[in-house]
Amino acid sequence: MRRLLAILSLIFVLGLGNTALAEIQWHETNREVTGKSLNDPRTSDGIEIYGSNGTITIVTPKRISVRVYTILGQMVSQATLQPGTSELKLGSRGIYLVRIGNLTQKVAI
């Protein structure tokens, strides 16, 4: 009986986590990017990935598909971004993995 309760509790908690994460959305912006990264934020495709002040910012010259994961591997966001600057405001600070095609970059916010 305890095992069943533990499993149901885990399912409930995971379900609530996914609901909260589904509310996180990307926003296009026209502002200049002022965030700094410890690593060179530019990729070989001309895509720039920054993290600062609770926000992940991606500047891209082309349409891309992006996925953002927590350091534990839980998907936070999945979207197709248009050329330009897009921001993803996250509710908590931490280390995130941003995956674009074959590229994966660690972003600390």
24-108 topology per CATH: Immunoglobulin-like (2.60.40)
DSSP H stretches of helix in the chain: 2-22
Question: In the chain, what are the domain boundaries?
Answer: 24-108
User: Amino acid identity, residue 24?
Assistant: I
67-78 confidence digits (pLDDT tens): 999 999 999 999
CA pair distance 1, 64, nearest whole angstrom:
47
* Residues forming beta bridges with residue 80, ordered by sequence position: 65
Give the pLDDT confidence score for residue 91 in this predicted structure. Answer: 82
Q: What is the pTM of this model?
A: 0.66
φ/ψ of 35, rounded to 5, equals -70, 150
Euclidean distance between the first and the last CA atom of the chain, given in angstroms as a whole number? 41
